[in-house]
Structure 1
Amino acid sequence: MSTHTETARETFEQDWQDWHDAHERHRAGPHGFLAVTHLHWLSSEATRLEGTPGTWSADDDVVRVVLEPGESLERDGVQLSGSIALGPIAERGGINLVSGDTVIEVAKRGGEYIVRPRNPENTLLQEYQGTPTYAPNAAFAVEGTFVPFDQPRATTVGAAVEGIQHVYEAPGEIRFKLAGEELALTAFNGYAPGSLSVLFTDQTSGKTTYAANRSLSVTPAADGTVQLDFNRAVNLPCAYTDLATCPLPPAENRLPVAIEAGEKIPYERQDQK
């Protein structure tokens, strides 16, 4: 191996390690997804929810919280008391309230309102060991092309929990070649402006990688060129906890090749393969 090639490999591996370390720190944050203690679905009937103060209900696209004397919540540094109206909240949107050490996420998923308390003392977070991965391999970092659809397509997919569906806007597909095969992935709009999110499964799914989905974020260049580095394929929250409503990939994103790169089945799920 030439010195230049060896240096390039070492740089590639170090860049991946730096990215992975940062991703792990974010995932293990004190109020990240590993801190979720409960998943509550709201109805029009006022109900007390474990892990939160007050009684909660949702009706006519408004969440209502009624706090008893001595109970309080905080939103953006402002103390709230009595009867509180929240919303409407956009689909896949949410707000955070604070109660002591707990952050209470109020969100909308599949057209329904949910409440998820997040407490840093949650056992899943306290016992988190990190996520196993494949060793970084430049063979799984390939160039693709983003090909926009004539019109963005509303794409309905299932979810990690039964009874709800997610609808995403798909602006186009990413075409690429891997393991000698011409492949394509439907892409959804990402969180960051100009970015795309790809949900997929492959021939490792349910064997060495999480069965339901993995995710990869990319940003096309102005000419449509996309760098697909599957070493940075990550698990969604549903890989760690049943208190998640993660989307499943569209059917066309079930790849016929083995993507032996990126994150593997979490230790917490390895007895559930």
Structure 2
Amino acid sequence: MLKILIICCTLLLPIRAVKAQNRYEQVINNWHSKRIESLKAENGWLNLVGLFWLEEGKNTFGSDQQNNIVFPSGSIATKAGYFERKGNIVKLVAADDVNITINGNPVKEAIIFHPDSTKTPTVVAGNLKWTIIKRDNKIGIRLRDIKSLALATFKGIERFPIDSTWKIEATIQSSPKARIEITNVLGQTNEQQSPGKLLFTLNGKQYSLDALEEGNELFIIFGDATSGKTTYPAGRFLYANKPDANGKTILDFNKAYNPPCAFTDFATCPLPPKQNILQIAITAGEKDFDHH
């Protein structure tokens, strides 16, 4: 009887392992589905079609090539109006024959960016939507087309096979006053506060990644030996829970994903700090996106 019980238990072990793996794969696939939904959303990255930095004074815009800011051909009137920048304040003035709305209300003239405002409005004209973004001393128009070609032709993102061995425990080496330099694709460098380094072991060797704090999570920008080969050349992003009382968290590289710049030329992505470029190949998460 004891022998039969031992055999039954032995047979159950691989079955439980398979079920656990299936549950884990479902978790990752659900996460990835939400990731795809966010890319395709109206505020996602697939519909971004322009980024135009404003000069001081008047900046004419429209689909005519003679404008200071040229929107995609056929998307708006040839001469749609102008943006006027005065320091950190931006005013929109629409041409008489152009239908532009903010919050559903037609406008001919409106302040669309002010340093004292808590919210930047979204401006709509046909299929186009735009907002103002500020990067250090640069102020620009972030333009979206809700029926963009990139969105219409999007077929998904290739991934490495889901592998639970890339779900790795990490220990934070806290450094509350630490600051790390983060450079973006515009070449702008800012010092950002870091809660510390995340230490983890792969194949018997210890590695570390400097983390940033974002809301209730840790945000990691990293590169590895796959960067520029099978994954995006400028690295990938990863979120993790904040460490528990013992300083432990999980780095699940199956959730490593491409930065916005993999999908559009009009994003201002941060780049991995040099200390976050790993010499090992992280063969998990998203591969490079090849729509370009």
Aligned pair 1:57/2:84, yes or no? yes
CA distance in 2, matches of 1:180, 1:83: 60
CA distance in 2, matches of 1:80, 1:89: 21
Query: Is the Cα contact below 8 Å between 2:112 and 2:120 reproduced in 1?
Result: no
Aligned residues: 263
Of residues 219, 228, 238, the one that matches 1:216 is 238
Following superposition, the deviation at residue 158 of structure 1 comes to 2.2
Of residues 84, 94, 107, the one that matches 2:133 is 107
Max Rg structure: 2
Distance 1:81 1:148, change over 3 A: farther
Query: Is the Cα contact below 8 Å between 1:110 and 1:166 reproduced in 2?
Result: no
CA distance in 1, matches of 2:21, 2:101: 49
Counterpart position of 1:233: 256
Query: Is the Cα contact below 8 Å between 1:67 and 1:83 reproduced in 2?
Result: no
Secondary structure (helix, strand or coil) at the match of 1:21 reads helix
Query: Is the Cα contact below 8 Å between 1:132 and 1:267 reproduced in 2?
Result: no
Secondary structure (helix, strand or coil) at the match of 2:275 reads helix
Counterpart position of 1:41: 53
Of residues 21, 26, 33, the one that matches 1:21 is 33
Distance 1:262 1:85, change over 3 A: closer
Following superposition, the deviation at residue 103 of structure 1 comes to 1.7
Distance 1:152 1:87, change over 3 A: farther
Counterpart position of 1:196: 218
Of stretches 217-226 and 17-26 in structure 1, the one that deviates more from structure 2 is: 217-226
Secondary structure (helix, strand or coil) at the match of 2:173 reads strand
Amino acid at match of 1:208: T
Scaled by the length of structure 2, the TM-score of the pair is: 0.82
Following superposition, the deviation at residue 204 of structure 1 comes to 0.7
TM-superposition CA deviations, 1:22-74 (whole Å, max 9, x none): 11111122442110111101110311233374311333211222222243543
Query: Is the Cα contact below 8 Å between 1:35 and 1:124 reproduced in 2?
Result: yes
Of residues 158, 162, 169, the one that matches 2:183 is 158
CA distance in 1, matches of 2:100, 2:274: 42
Secondary structure (helix, strand or coil) at the match of 1:33 reads coil
Following superposition, the deviation at residue 106 of structure 1 comes to 1.1
CA distance in 2, matches of 1:109, 1:128: 29
Alignment of 1:133-144 (within 5 A): 133-144=159-170
Following superposition, the deviation at residue 95 of structure 1 comes to 4.5
Structure 1 stretches of 4+ moved >4 Å? none
Q: Which runs of 5+ in 1 are unaligned?
A: none
Q: Which runs of 5+ in 2 are unaligned?
A: 1-12, 62-68
Scaled by the length of structure 1, the TM-score of the pair is: 0.88
Counterpart position of 2:65: none
Secondary structure (helix, strand or coil) at the match of 1:186 reads strand
Of stretches 76-85 and 40-49 in structure 1, the one that deviates more from structure 2 is: 76-85
Query: Is the Cα contact below 8 Å between 2:84 and 2:92 reproduced in 1?
Result: yes
